[in-house]
Chain A
Amino acid sequence: MSVIAVRNIHKRFGNQDVLKGIDLSVAKGETVVLLGSSGSGKSTILRTLNLLDLPDEGDVFLHGNKLGQARPDGTRRYRGGELRNLRRRVGMVFQHFNLFPHLTVEENIMIGLRRVLNYSITQAREKARHHLDHVGLAEKALAFPDTLSGGQRQRVAIARALAMDPDVMLFDEATSALDPERVSEVLRTMRQLSQEGTTMVVVTHELGFAYNVADRVVFLHGGRILEQGTPTEILLHPTHAPTREFLHAHTEFRLPSA
């Protein structure tokens, strides 16, 4: 059974149809990479998975259970409690980290544990330290986010999401705001999570990551899923022209393999 799934999702912003019927289902332990050009709706899909954006049409499922209650007009209504319950089970890592600047690194991780999962301070601190250690930042527990490098901040953000013991992790261009030499430390952390069996949905432009880590690659175009399959199928033998153009644009300048 899928951990998280969406069925026939439609989303409009103003008069722009951003998602035009998306079906996506993520199995336990699976790593799915979403590819697509800028503005193709990748972020919107991730944000629908944890209902940060509410779809205009379509359903969201957590462990096979359809969320929300039906309204007479066919759309669905989501209660605050249900949204919060979903979001604490779905970890999200943002392009710009969204760490809390007035809190120390460990307090950033503790706040969800304390205020959502009702941990005591001692328990929360212990768990925060454990997850910081996991991303290799144990010694930064008492630092403030603005004293860290971008790569370190993103690893803190990953630890913060992981500390909630989510059923699935969403990554929205987690390395796009980083200096090039900081990208690999974050990608390594993400690969490690994938290898440990974390269920993940990853939006990235790092094709090497997609090729080496993804179980499945999904290519989005014009608000629809154009094609999906194994990394080899999609990245090496794409069948649609837009996919080929996208891949070409992303690999035009690269070193020949030795």
Chain B
Amino acid sequence: MRHIWDFSFLVHYLVPLGRGLMNTICLSGMVTVAGFTLGLLAAIASMSPLRTVRMASAAYVELLRNVPALVILFLFFYVIPVLTGFQNDRFLTACVAFSLYTSAYFCEILRGGFLAVDPGQWEGGQALGLSRAGIFCWIIAPQIIRAAMPSLANEAIEIVKISTVASTIAFPEFLYQTKIVSDIEYRPIETYTASAVVMTVLILALTWVSRIAARHFAGHRRKK
């Protein structure tokens, strides 16, 4: 049996697919910001002088890193409402679950960036009479960002892919909408091909933006 390719039916579904794409972008954006922030806090905690705080951070990271995103999502979607009697909004559930999940990765990336900075940089700053906060802001943090930028960008791309897992709780993100269209039209090959192209374009665009950001943060002036 030969398959005859036909994409024309897709024009009738531009609105729901567009809405799905917007939802994917919103979810990914929120998760990136919240995951980064949580990861930053966990990274700071991991360098605390207090042993218990360091251990708590390590436990947090290990726990979240070793559980699949899907499991965390189901936990929040099914288990927590049972325990609390409070049904969450799908978007919020996905946001919280994926933010926690990716924060573990952000934490590791930021920690790695921190450890890559030569300890002599602290001493250089201290010897000038700068405060520890000042040294961190003006000397250490820019170098962490510089070292970690490629991995951070990579994680943001990873988040876009992870966000599709939200389709399993019927959050109408791009993949979920794609599936509905495919089911209605009975044309999975064209529908998923088109959706793969759109996803690829989105991720390429993200890669391109993150490259520009990397160059900007990383001291573009260094490139001669």
Interface residues of A (CB under 8 A from B): 50, 52, 80, 84-92, 94, 96, 98-102, 104, 111-112, 115-116, 144, 146-147, 160-161, 164
Name 30 interchain pairs, CB-CB below 8 A, sorted by A.
A50-B127, A52-B123, A80-B132, A84-B131, A87-B126, A87-B127, A88-B129, A89-B129, A90-B127, A92-B127, A94-B124, A98-B118, A98-B120, A98-B121, A98-B124, A99-B124, A100-B139, A102-B146, A111-B128, A111-B138, A112-B129, A115-B130, A115-B134, A116-B128, A116-B130, A144-B219, A144-B221, A144-B222, A146-B222, A164-B128
With known contacts A96-B120, A111-B138, A102–B143 Cβ distance under 8 A: yes
In the docked arrangement, what's the CA distance between A50 and B224, Å? 38
B18 on the interface (CB 8 Å rule)?
A: no
Size range of the interface on B?
Answer: 20 to 34
A90 cross-chain contacts in B, Cβ below 8 A:
127
Cβ distance A119 to chain B, nearest Cβ, rounded Å: 13
In the docked arrangement, what's the CA distance between A112 and B222, Å? 22
Cβ distance A94 to chain B, nearest Cβ, rounded Å: 7
In the docked arrangement, what's the CA distance between A116 and B224, Å? 31
A111 cross-chain contacts in B, Cβ below 8 A:
128, 130, 138-139
In the complex the two chains form, is A80's CB within 8 Å of B128's CB? no
In the complex the two chains form, is B143's CB within 8 Å of A116's CB? no
In the complex the two chains form, is A52's CB within 8 Å of B126's CB? yes
A115 cross-chain contacts in B, Cβ below 8 A:
130, 134, 138
Closest 4 CB pairs of A and B: A88-B129, A98-B124, A112-B128, A92-B127
B142 on the interface (CB 8 Å rule)?
A: yes
| Binary interface encoding of chain B residues 118-156 relative to chain A, with 1 for a CB under 8 A from any of its CBs, else 0 | 101101111111111010001100110010000000000
Cβ distance A4 to chain B, nearest Cβ, rounded Å: 14
A99 cross-chain contacts in B, Cβ below 8 A:
124
Most buried by B among A85, A88, A92, A101: A101
Smallest CB gap from A112: residue in B: B128
A146 cross-chain contacts in B, Cβ below 8 A:
222
A80 cross-chain contacts in B, Cβ below 8 A:
131-132
A90-B127, A94-B127 known; 9 other A-B pairs, CB under 8 Å? A50-B127, A52-B127, A80-B131, A87-B126, A92-B127, A100-B121, A100-B124, A111-B139, A116-B130
B146 cross-chain contacts in A, Cβ below 8 A:
102
Cβ distance B153 to chain A, nearest Cβ, rounded Å: 18
In the docked arrangement, what's the CA distance between A98 and B143, Å? 13
Most buried by B among A85, A102, A146: A102
With known contacts A98-B121, A111-B138, A161–B219 Cβ distance under 8 A: no
In the docked arrangement, what's the CA distance between A84 and B127, Å? 8
In the docked arrangement, what's the CA distance between A112 and B139, Å? 11
In the complex the two chains form, is B129's CB within 8 Å of A164's CB? yes
In the complex the two chains form, is B129's CB within 8 Å of A84's CB? yes
B219 cross-chain contacts in A, Cβ below 8 A:
102, 144
In the docked arrangement, what's the CA distance between A144 and B146, Å? 15
Within 8 A of A (CB), among B14-50: none
Cβ distance B144 to chain A, nearest Cβ, rounded Å: 10
Candidates A101, A104, A144, A160; contact of B128 at CB < 8 Å:
A160
In the docked arrangement, what's the CA distance between A242 and B221, Å? 51
Candidates B118, B120, B121, B129; contact of A116 at CB < 8 Å:
B129
Most buried by B among A85, A89, A112: A112
Within 8 A of A (CB), among B82-126: 118, 120-121, 123-126
Cβ distance A144 to chain B, nearest Cβ, rounded Å: 6
Smallest CB gap from A95: residue in B: B120
Cβ distance A23 to chain B, nearest Cβ, rounded Å: 23
Candidates B120, B130, B142; contact of A94 at CB < 8 Å:
B120
In the complex the two chains form, is A91's CB within 8 Å of B127's CB? yes
In the complex the two chains form, is A85's CB within 8 Å of B129's CB? yes
Smallest CB gap from A96: residue in B: B120
In the docked arrangement, what's the CA distance between A80 and B129, Å? 10
Most buried by A among B120, B127, B130, B131: B127
Most buried by B among A50, A92, A111, A161: A111
In the docked arrangement, what's the CA distance between A50 and B130, Å? 13
Smallest CB gap from A109: residue in B: B128
Cβ distance B122 to chain A, nearest Cβ, rounded Å: 9
Candidates A87, A101, A112, A164; contact of B143 at CB < 8 Å:
A101
B123 cross-chain contacts in A, Cβ below 8 A:
52, 94, 98
